[in-house]
Amino acid sequence: MAGREGLLKLDVGVLSAEQQEKLRQFKIKTRIDNETYLRSHPEVDALIGDFLRDVLLRRPVDVREFAADHFTKANLHAVIASKIEGNSDME
């Protein structure tokens, strides 16, 4: 991740006006495509929300190990399906 110094050295004139417009259109299309995908896959929101809730509740020392354990739980599919249906009492 670049520090602030890297941002100060950016040459905003590197892209032509046409390239800037193509980049802007690409970003817009990408955001729309991502939003469409996420709306058609509510399980992504449920998976991320469930994981973040558990991380913040348990505050594990080793988050990577915790994530590996979390996402390999045998009942993860059932827990997420239950959350999607609005029945979050299955844990």
11-66 residue pLDDT tens: 667 888 898 899 999 999 999 999 999 999 999 999 999 999 999 999 999 999 99
Contacts for 74 with CB less than 8 Å, ≥ 6 apart: none
Structure tokens at 1: 């991740």
The overall pTM is greater than 0.75: no
Per-residue pLDDT tens over the stretch 54-78:
999 999 999 999 999 999 999 999 9
